[in-house]
Chain A
Amino acid sequence: MLKHLILLSLLLPSLASGRATLDERRKKILAIVDEELAEVTRLAKQQEYKAPETLLRVAELNLEKGRLFREAENEQYLAVPPAERMRLNKRESFAQSTRFFSAANDAALVVAKKFASYSAIGEVYYILAYNFKELGDEAQARKYFQLAVGKSRDPKVLGKSRQALADIYFNDKKYAAAIPLYESTLKASEEKWWTKDAFNLAWSYYRTRNYDRAIALMREVHRKSGGKYIDMRSAVERDIGIFYVDANRINEAIQFFESVGLSYTDQFIKIATAITAQGRFDQAEKLLEKVKGIEKDRGRRIEILLAELNLFDKFNRTNEHLATARELVGLHLKTPLEKAQFERLSFQVNKKAAELQKATASDVYDNVPRIKQQKARESIAYFDLSAQLNPGRRSEKLFFQGETAFAAGDFAKALGLYVSAFDGARTDGDKKLLSQSLEGMLAALGQSALPKATAERFYVPVYSRYVTVDARSNRASSIFVKLFNAQFDGGDVPEAEKTLGSFAKNFPGDFKTQEAMLAKVMEHYRGRKDYAPVKSYVARINSGEFKVSAKYAEALRSLMTKLQIEGVQQSLERGEKAVALKGYHQIHASSESTPKAKVNAAYNLAALYFELGDTAQTYSWATRALQEMEVADVVKFADSYLSIAAGLFLRQQFTPSADLSHRLLVKICREGSKSKSASFKNAAFIALANEDVKKAIEVQSMAATCGVPEATATEVSLEILKDLGKSKQWDTYERILRDLERNPKNAPLLIKPYEDYRRELANIGQAEEAAGIAEKQNRFYQQAKTQKLDVPVEALDLMAERLVSAIAEKKRQLDQIRLSFPQAVFETALKAKLQLLDQMATDVNQLQRVGSGKGIVEGYRYIITGYEEFGETLKAFTPPEKSPEFIESFRKAMADVHGPILQNARKQRAEVRKLISDNKILSLSNFSVLFSEKDVHKRYFTQKEAVLMDRGGRR
């Protein structure tokens, strides 16, 4: 352990890695110390680490290194500029010296531990103690000083240890422990420090309430001071008074002070100040009271009052402080105080005012508003005193008072003070204060706790002051608005108009605010039907005096329109349609009318004429309105236009109706309107109804451009196809078909139109093309089935019809097979018939899956007649040229065959009846399957194409 410790000492870097820069002299010394360490290490090794003095030497050498580094570190540390020094890590700055001090300590500690009986152990303890003191470890320092005192044989070390320990006890306020140590130190020494140590001893006596000894020793220190001893006179003169006061020997104190030529008042004031610092308020107060009672001199009295002021300040006796401050201010106002006294008074008054203001502003008293108010009142009182002391800064004090009232939540008072401060500042030309008081006013005004009535009272005074200071800032902009509103709301419209004028001048680009203000003003006049000022404002706006946005200009025009239409509207509301009609005609015709007013008039005219049933005028004004009206408005009124078009249609005005619908569609073609599909369909269908296929096709061609839903467009196309088929325009027919065919979803819808086309082709002998179309139809059908699309009934019937023809063919083959003998022939025929019937039954099953009612009934018809005819034929058959027994036996045998066949026919009939009934199938074949030929039922047929009316309702 020892060995390692010493080797470690050697390894501690000194020169090479030293962070602290050392001067040449220190470097040389350190080199020697390093050599010494090396030698001591060698010596220690020789002595097998058993000689404490050698180890002590290790400690001393490390201590020396530590001190050298500490000196250099100190110099470097102090050379750094103070601001930069604040940021330095002190521990790092003194790291090297600390390391050596620690190494010294470690070595000394080892000596202390291992060689407790070492003759110079007292010195070791002293070194340790001193070192710990250097390292800032007071506890360890004390411990080792105690040990040093106990063990030191060297009187010098003993004396120093005692004295150091006494100082430690003294600093730790362990005066009783310090006393014997100081006493023995003082007995043994007559050094120059005697007075200083004796002074500490006197204080120790005092602290242990041994006042007599304390005073006696203090007097001795005073007597001995100077000459060969440290001069402690001023310290004694400073402190002895306190001793006398505590010993209640005040008269002696006065004698002492007089004997040394000091003013006892000054001394007592000092004492009072000192004991105040110790928290002994009552004693200090009494002392000052006493001296105040004796002292007659004005200057000294002021000093006493100032000391009291300080005292009351320290102990937060605000009432007394304020009273004393008032007394002093009064004295000052009579005859000015001396500069220093005045400054102290000013400091106290201002400090107190500020402190109380701060207290008012803090949240400490939020829950005790009474205290908060009291603090505010006191603060305001101090500011008042401050203003008296500094009349030149009265406005500032008023402002502070305002701030205090604000902090206390007394906004009304604050506002009054701010306004006064503002007016004062304006007189003084103090721009800063002007701005601050304005801020205060605005903040106070903005408080929700401020009663509304009070706030309103202050709006105009505050805002009007504000704009005199600042008319151009963003804030000014909002203040103008507030001022305008306050004036306007207060009914002072002329002032508000002036504010508007100022605003427009200072914020020419702020259209929005100007517009709002203008709107208010114009509305005010409009409300009073006083249109002249309104028109004047419009004219001023148009002249550019007020700059407004395009939108606002438009709004103004609306207003004008509104003004123009207003009367007509009122006539209409009253039911005076003729007056209204006249009015609208006038508006539409007037050159003064705004375009909007004109459109409005045209639309209203269309509506009025529609109500009156005048289709021509309706159509005329509707198309004009539609033409002049903006698209957005058309979208808005699309339903009305549709209604008008529908009305025209109902009144047989097909062409105007179709045209109106078409115009409507053209207008809203690119807009997102729910009326678009309706107008599209209407335009197309009304054209078709009007047999104007061409027009319908024209309408239909707009579908894609106008974004008409595809289903709607397809619906219209299918309708057009019907008319095209009728008018045999097969080229167009085919083109439209092909267009429709592009969408696979249309497949089932196209089966029937293709059928018409196919038949046409078949009729004109284009069998191949017809067959191609037939295939396409089948494909469409299969496609629809696969994709589970709805197939129109006509298409289903068509597809079923194709299956039925196969069944009919089998029926024809069944009919052609004749029953005849010989028996083998008979049996072959019987078998062939049964087979065909089976096949027909299979076909019918397949047919049922198509879902065509007509087809099903037709299929059933064939199979029922097939079974019935076969059954009946078999039943009636008699083998030719056969014996009766044979015949008898043959019939018996055949009964087992035709019985079930006929039975089956009946069953089939019952089935189909149920199907017809359940699925409500209407088919020409119903008759033949519902009733057998035996049932004699009558059947009625109408003439072909017995349609009463076409889709236009004209036939």
Chain B
Amino acid sequence: MFSKLLLTSLLAIPVAFASFESAERTYGKSSASYAGSRRLVIDLVKAGHYYSPVPWMKDFIVRTDRALDSELEGALDTMLYHTGVKPFEALPEDQLRRSRSGSIRFILAKKLFKRGKPQEALIELNGVSADHPAYPFVANFKATIFSHLGNFPDAESYFRDCVRASESRMGKVDTVTMRDQLEMNRDYCVAGVARVQFATRDYKKAELTYLDIEKDSFVWPEILFEEAWNSYYQKNYNRTLGKLVSYKAPVFNFIFRPEVDVLKALTYLKMCLYDDAKKTVDDFYSELEAPSRELRSYLISRGKDYRYFYNLMADFEDNRPAPVPLVNPILRSIRKDAAYREMKSALSAAIGEYNELRKKPQTAMTQNLVKNVRVLADEYRTSIGAYVRAVLVSKYSELYTSFQGMSYIKLEVLAQRKERLYQTDASPSKKRGDVKYIDRNDKQYFWTFNGEFWADELGDYVFALRSEC
């Protein structure tokens, strides 16, 4: 559904015909000159063609050794606002440095951070002004870098800045997508604050901060897991189990997180519920060991054939399951993934632009622009394929780590049991489930899980198991 429909769908994109005609004229006269190509790109962006001039914009950045003027920077920001940073990420750092564009700085910072240069990344990000449209994302990024550097006060401060910036911008954007992105950015930053509090072992605060993320937030399902950890660190194991059981709800069927089971097993272990812990481990192994091995072979056999993974995802979107069963839940989770959705959205838009261009009289420029979009769409597909593969690999890695974790948990269970045998064999009573074992704060509801999931109860289930330690 996804690929084919995208290729043929007609999306309503407003087009500035005047600018496009202007561009046509510029193209005919001086397409090879600096001024000519600058004008051309600016005109095309103004005409609402954000995708087709991308190669020329990149080319322009590569060819010139001068800093971009403000008009061009504005055109680039507008372009990036629609295309995302992906098409420009491949540009070399020294060429990216020629731009003072906030978006380009953001790309450069990402590259530097990936290269293990967080301080340099911060310098680049500091160059982005607070009124830049990308600022909420920049603030999030800066907070993340500070958190990474262990500078938790600054990290928290920027996360809070991010929350504010995101919220203030949310009312100003003209598209739903942008609004969604900002909303998601805000929630991530709220989570960031909670994470910083968690990192500073202020679990109580973190717990409350996590609760500030609405249940309908896009990020909430994954935050639930962090909340579970937070409860775990507070030794509120019954709440941990309650949080984790929410993942069993059908609405969360797109979540593929092996760590959920690991944490569950670990919690049981902490409560000395060895049989439960062992059962969790054994179930995990019996459910996932063979599929995981299959996934590994599958990934090895497909190598870095990104187009294959793109097609895999496209087929999945088209309701055709993957050849390896375990891939399906992962693809399902990718479908809900923000990054994937952004790329998918950009690709859709690029294809829309392509279709529009094809309808125009096929001048030399139009023909070149069509060619440009096709190249860009291909790049998007490759990026999507690479992303899908990366997620699959990462999920396999999670599985791998989880298996080890599970084994360690089981070994710990066995060791504990053995220890009991080595000492005395005093079996605890088997009475389970009691309200007195439950802790809660005023933001939390208290729902005992009775085997039925209710949307408003999700995340609020609490178990009442007595520790057998």
Contacts and interface: CB of A to CB of B under 8 A. Distances in A.
Contacts of A35: 414
Contacts of B404: 43, 46-47
Q: Which of the listed residues B285, B404, B415, B421 has the most CB atoms from chain A within 10 Å of its own CB? A: B421
A302 to B, nearest CB: 57
A35 B400 CA distance: 21
B421 A42 contact: no
B407 A39 contact: yes
B181 to A, nearest CB: 39
A33 interface: yes
A25 B419 CA distance: 12
Contact of B285 (A29, A33, A42): A42
Interface in A241-269: none
Nearest to A40: B411
B309 interface: no
Given A43-B404, A46-B400, A46-B403, A32 B418 contact: yes
A57 interface: yes
Interface string A16-48: 000000000100110011011001101100110
Nearest to B409: A39
A32 B414 contact: yes
A36 B422 CA distance: 15
Nearest to A29: B421
Nearest to B278: A35
Contacts of A28: 421
B418 A57 contact: no
Contacts of A42: 285, 407
B381 interface: no
Given A46-B400, A47-B404, A32 B417 contact: yes
A57 B407 contact: no
A29 B420 CA distance: 10
B142 interface: no
Given A36-B415, A46-B400, A46-B404, A25 B421 contact: yes
Contacts of B408: 43
A40 B415 CA distance: 12
Q: Which of the listed residues A36, A43, A46 has the most CB atoms from chain B within 10 Å of its own CB? A: A46
A45 to B, nearest CB: 10
Nearest to A46: B403
B410 interface: yes
A35 B403 CA distance: 16
Contacts of A39: 407, 410-411, 414
A808 B419 CA distance: 145
A43 B404 CA distance: 6
Interface in B391-433: 400, 403-404, 407-408, 410-411, 414-415, 417-418, 421-422, 425
Contacts of B400: 46
Contacts of B411: 36, 39-40, 43, 57
A36 B413 CA distance: 9
Given A29-B421, A32-B421, A46 B415 contact: no
A29 B422 contact: yes
Interface residues of A, number: 14
A57 B412 CA distance: 12
Interface in B29-84: none
A870 B400 CA distance: 153
Nearest to B402: A46
A43 B422 contact: no
B402 to A, nearest CB: 10
Contacts of B418: 29, 32-33, 36
Contacts of A47: 404
Given A32-B414, A36-B415, A43 B421 contact: no
A300 to B, nearest CB: 55
Interface string A41-82: 011001100000000010000000000000000000000000
Q: In the complex, which range does the number of interface residues on chain B fall in?
A: 10 to 19
A611 B460 CA distance: 162
B407 A46 contact: yes
A36 to B, nearest CB: 5
A46 B281 CA distance: 14
A43 B409 CA distance: 11
A72 to B, nearest CB: 15
Contacts of A29: 418, 421-422
Nearest to A44: B407
A576 B292 CA distance: 144
Contacts of A36: 411, 414-415, 418
Q: Which of the listed residues A33, A36, A40, A47 has the most CB atoms from chain B within 10 Å of its own CB? A: A36
Nearest to B399: A46
A762 B414 CA distance: 138
Contacts of A33: 418
Nearest to B281: A39
A547 B192 CA distance: 134
Contacts of B415: 36
A32 B418 CA distance: 7
A35 B414 CA distance: 8
A47 B404 CA distance: 8
Nearest to A36: B414
Nearest to A47: B404
Nearest to B418: A32
A39 B404 CA distance: 10
Nearest to A33: B418
Contacts of B285: 42
A396 B257 CA distance: 98
A25 B420 CA distance: 11
Nearest to B400: A46
A57 B411 CA distance: 10
Contacts of B407: 39-40, 42-43, 46
Nearest to B416: A32
A40 to B, nearest CB: 7
Q: Which of the listed residues A25, A35, A39 has the most CB atoms from chain B within 10 Å of its own CB? A: A39
A92 B400 CA distance: 44
Interface in B133-162: none
A28 B419 CA distance: 11
Contacts of B417: 32
A685 B417 CA distance: 128
Contacts of B421: 25, 28-29, 32
Contacts of A57: 411
B283 to A, nearest CB: 14
A33 to B, nearest CB: 7
Contacts of B425: 25
A499 B187 CA distance: 136
B399 to A, nearest CB: 10
A256 B400 CA distance: 70
A615 B414 CA distance: 134
A907 B58 CA distance: 168
A550 to B, nearest CB: 94
A69 to B, nearest CB: 15
B405 to A, nearest CB: 10
Contacts of A32: 414, 417-418, 421
Contacts of A46: 400, 403-404, 407
A901 to B, nearest CB: 141
B415 to A, nearest CB: 7
A677 to B, nearest CB: 112
Interface in B197-235: none
**Cβ-closest 4 pairs across A and B:** A43-B407, A32-B418, A36-B414, A29-B421
21 contacts: A25-B421, A25-B425, A28-B421, A29-B418, A32-B414, A32-B418, A32-B421, A35-B414, A36-B414, A36-B415, A39-B407, A39-B414, A40-B411, A42-B285, A42-B407, A43-B404, A43-B407, A43-B408, A43-B411, A46-B400, A47-B404
Interface of A: 25, 28-29, 32-33, 35-36, 39-40, 42-43, 46-47, 57
Given A25-B421, A29-B421, A39-B411, 20 more contacts: A25-B425, A28-B421, A32-B414, A32-B417, A32-B418, A35-B414, A36-B411, A39-B407, A39-B410, A39-B414, A40-B407, A40-B411, A42-B285, A42-B407, A43-B403, A43-B404, A43-B407, A46-B403, A46-B404, A47-B404
